[in-house]
């Protein structure tokens, strides 16, 4: 603490760093502390993934019922999956875009403290990846439960038990990976844009 301010003679320019462990804990903190806001962001992911998983579950049930699906049913299922993916992407992009934009000033501050563009992108990608995985997990459970409830009401719970679990398991993993990747992909564009702004411009931004 007795150190004096730097003099010109000891002045040289080096590199700044951000270890992964620190980046990880900062991102985690961002989710935990702003949990309410994070859950609103995640809601977009949850809904999309819930839809996707419910479609996967229905297909798994169909495959487990013994009779192979007719070509029309196959087409319909594919359509549903494509549609649910679209819904997913739009919801996730929208949420992620907002969550980055509303933090422009924070990004500007970080850059003033010595963060390079890559730190900002790293932090936001980590955060969106974690949030994406969490949202997808909740969404997947919700989607599966909805299908269960529907079958319970129709008194066809047996069909759930006899569904094609292997297909369902694969669909579940796919859905989680898709949810995580989509939310990360949706974050890249706004995060890179924000990171590239000169700090002065980022600090001026008010959302």
Partner 1 sequence: MATSAAANHSQMLEDYVVRTRGLTKIYVMGGEELHALDNVALDIKRGEYISIMGPSGSGKSTLFNMIGGLDKPTSGTVYINETDMAQLDAAELAWIRCRTVGYIFQTFNLIPVMTAIENVTLPMVFAGRTPDEQLQRGKELLELVGLGDRLYHRPSELSGGQQQRVAIARAFANDPAIILADEPTANLDLRTGKEIIELLRTLNEERGVTVISATHDLHMIDISDRVVWVRDGKIDKIEDRQSVDVKVGHVDWEDQYRPTN
Nearer to partner 1 by C-beta: 27 or 58?
27
The residue ranges that bind partner 1 (CB under 8 A) are: 1, 3-9, 11, 13-19, 22, 29-30, 33-34, 105-106, 108-117, 119, 198-201, 203
Three-state SS for 93-160 is HHHHHHHHHCCHHHHHHHHHCCCCHHHHHHHHHHHHHHHHHHHHHHHHHHHHHHHHHHHHHCCCHHHH
Nearer to partner 1 by C-beta: 13 or 153?
13
Nearer to partner 1 by C-beta: 30 or 128?
30
Q: How far is the CB of 179 from partner 1 (least distance, A)?
A: 24
Q: How far is the CB of 30 from partner 1 (least distance, A)?
A: 6
**Terminal Cα distance for the chain, rounded:** 39
Nearer to partner 1 by C-beta: 116 or 150?
116
Nearer to partner 1 by C-beta: 68 or 114?
114
Q: How far is the CB of 107 from partner 1 (least distance, A)?
A: 10
Residues 89 and 186 sit within 8 Å (Cβ to Cβ):
yes
Nearer to partner 1 by C-beta: 17 or 72?
17
CB atoms closer than 10 angstroms to residue 18: 17
Q: What are the two backbone dihedrals, phi and then psi, of residue 10, each rounded to the nearest 5 degrees?
A: -100, 15
Q: What are the two backbone dihedrals, phi and then psi, of residue 98, each rounded to the nearest 5 degrees?
A: -65, -45
Q: How far is the CB of 154 from partner 1 (least distance, A)?
A: 46
Q: How far is the CB of 204 from partner 1 (least distance, A)?
A: 9
Question: For residues 129 and 47, what is the distance between their CA atoms, to the nearest angstrom?
Answer: 17
Which residues, in sequence order, are CB contacts of 41 under 8 Å at separation 6+?
Answer: 95, 96, 98, 99, 131, 135
Q: How far is the CB of 45 from partner 1 (least distance, A)?
A: 20
């Amino acid at each position: 603490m007795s150190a004096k301010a730097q003099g010109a003679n000891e002045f040289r320019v080096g590199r700044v760093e951000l270890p992964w462990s620190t980046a990880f804990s900062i991102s985690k903190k961002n989710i935990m502390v702003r949990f309410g806001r994070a859950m609103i962001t995640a809601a977009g992911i949850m809904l999309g993934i819930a839809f996707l998983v419910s479609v996967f579950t229905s297909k798994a049930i169909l495959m487990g019922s013994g009779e192979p699906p007719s070509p029309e049913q196959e087409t319909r299922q594919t359509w549903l999956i494509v549609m649910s993916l679209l819904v997913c992407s739009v919801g996730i992009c929208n949420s992620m875009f907002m969550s980055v934009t509303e933090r422009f000033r924070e990004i500007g501050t970080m850059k003033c403290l010595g963060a390079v563009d890559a730190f900002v992108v790293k932090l936001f990608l980590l955060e969106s990846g974690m949030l994406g995985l969490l949202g997808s997990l909740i969404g997947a459970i919700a989607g599966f439960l909805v299908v269960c409830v529907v079958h319970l009401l129709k008194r066809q719970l047996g069909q759930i038990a006899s569904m094609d679990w292997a297909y369902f398991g694969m669909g579940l993993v796919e859905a989680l990976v898709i949810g995580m990747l989509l939310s990360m992909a949706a974050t890249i564009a706004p995060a890179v844009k924000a990171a590239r702004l000169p700090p002065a411009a980022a600090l001026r931004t008010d959302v």
